[in-house]
A and B are shown apart, each in its own frame.
Chain A
Amino acid sequence: MKSSINIDHICNLARIKLSPEEKKYLVPQMIKIIEWVNKLEELKFDISREEIYSPLASSLPLRKDEVQSSLGVDKALANSPEKSREYVKVPRVIEGK
């Protein structure tokens, strides 16, 4: 497999900016890592999607749908960088004038 990475596209998806200097060493490193994991190409699989390992037991335990107490607004908001009354405050979402 040809190893390439569209770093700007991936960084946009990951919401991370890289400086030109960071790109200069990170991109070759990433390509090296990708070429290294391409080792998996050698394997032949006879495994369907259903048989793929899942850490979950075949049936997850269910619990009764009972109302329980939760953190409460003060505790839940205690770590927020900016708040207004009982809300988290963020920069404007709708772009434009």
Chain B
Amino acid sequence: MKLTSLTLTELEDLIQKKEIKAEEVVSAYLAQLHREEEKICAFITILEEKALARARKIDAQKEKGKLAGIPLAIKDNILTEGIKTTCASRILGNFIPPYNATAVEKLLAEDAIIMGKTNLDEFAMGSSTENSAFFLTKNPWDIKRVPGGSSGGSAAAVAAGEAVAALGSDTGGSIRQPAAFCGLVGLKPTYGRVSRYGLVAFASSLDQIGPLTQTVEDCALLTQIIAGFDSKDSTSSPLPVPDYRQEMKQGLASIRVAYLKESLLKGIDPEIKDAYKKTLKILEKIGAELHEIDFPSWEYALACYYIIAPSEASSNLARYDGARYGWRHPQSSSLKEMYLNTRTEGFGQEVKRRIILGTFALSSGYYDAYYLKAAKTRSLICQDFERAFQEVDFVLTPTTPEPAFLIGAKSDPIAMYLSDIFTVTANLAGIPALSLPVGLTRKKLPIGIQIMGNLFQESNLFKLAFLIEKKVKFKQKD
């Protein structure tokens, strides 16, 4: 039995039945990590000794948590106490958080094991992980290609068998797009479902932490564990967290699915389009009602996102000034010079581009024309979804317009931004969205389909994804 080919729930079952020890699991994963890492470069920090010591401790415990001995990878913008958290930025290159993110705290409380911290686009700004200040991460399905981003390290680590599952963060598609590129299940939960405490802020009204896993059941289990109200995040929801894993298997009473009209699929890769149409056929076969839905605001979502997200980023990233923590430029004769030098040399190009764009959109004389207009567009998008969810239970789209692209293929920022065309709407509307692998292209690259649902309907997303998963039988990479 190859331990690194098992899913989270399979592995957990063996550990709980005491058929294998946590230490054996962690050792197997570390061996796989050492074999793969030179090629894939998924991790910024690897916690070999800590992971093994923790596994031994868990093996000695009588009572074991729901994730006992499960090796997980955590995106390096989610705080881990005493473990370097860099956001793949020079400015936080040596930052050691004094506390854990709530999501991490919840995983640790269930005895999960953190294998390391994964690479990302600097401050989660990007769609390929090429914006990391440190190194490139490669897609395990084809190492000439990107793993997607910004949670590219998390996705690559799971696809390469270096961790069973991972946490990522999603502001405009940063969990779903890499999940699609690497053949994984990825969930962007409803805004407020998972606490953002300890997630380094990029765009606070859009950010959510979520899981990247091999199966829908793994995704349901991890979501269940990390979700819930947190007094440290006042935007987290007090709604109770259902038993997603159990509910997932109960099936759906109604499957009314909206699909995108032909004009909104213009320009997407033909193999992705085929896979999308095939998935709709599968849905028809399992008894779904299909509706073509009009989304007047759909084509404005990306432009809206690229004002809202940089605006919030420009405000959030004002905190990196070299004064209290993080890197400080060594030569500055005044406070203002310290701010300027630190930020100029501490941030990479894409981060600077977005800070400048956001500062522009919020600046006097332009606020009404840009930020306010984008905020109003966001309201239209929400209204379109509200209307849609009166008629349907789900909206189905491709996750990405194309499969994983070649490293270096997108030097133009707008071309890169277009990667997010199907994913940003869910962040703008706050609704949950899940990407599910449904097949491979001729070049053996994974294709992801996105299922969006109404606010706090994660349970229904898992149910539908589980039904599709059983039909498509996607095979993880060996």
Contacts and interface: CB of A to CB of B under 8 A. Distances in A.
A43 B360 contact: no
Interface in B372-391: 372-380, 382
B363 A10 contact: yes
Interface in A71-90: 71, 75-76, 78-82, 88, 90
Interface residues of A, number: 53
B339 interface: yes
A47 interface: yes
B430 A55 contact: yes
Interface string A43-57: 101010101111111
A1 interface: yes
Given A36-B414, A91-B332, A75 B98 contact: yes
B335 interface: yes
B377 A43 contact: yes
B322 A81 contact: yes
Contact of A81 (B192, B327, B377, B378): B327
Contact of B300 (A1, A16, A43): A43
B355 A16 contact: yes
Q: Is the interface of A mostly helix, strand, loop or mixed?
A: loop
Contacts of B94: 79
A97 interface: no
Nearest to B304: A40
B413 A33 contact: yes
B352 A16 contact: yes
For this complex, into which size category does the number of interface residues on chain B fall?
35 or more
A95 to B, nearest CB: 6
Given A47-B376, A79-B326, A90 B335 contact: yes
Contact of A92 (B314, B322, B335, B356): B335
Contacts of B325: 79-81
A67 interface: no
Contact of A53 (B234, B353, B378): B378
Interface in B91-108: 94-96, 98-99
A82 B413 CA distance: 36
Given A43-B380, A52-B375, 16 more contacts: A9-B363, A10-B359, A18-B344, A26-B353, A33-B357, A40-B374, A43-B377, A45-B376, A55-B430, A57-B235, A61-B234, A79-B95, A79-B325, A80-B323, A90-B323, A93-B335
Interface of A: 1, 5, 7, 9-11, 13-18, 26, 29-30, 32-34, 36-43, 45, 47, 49, 51-57, 60-61, 63, 71, 75-76, 78-82, 88, 90-93, 95
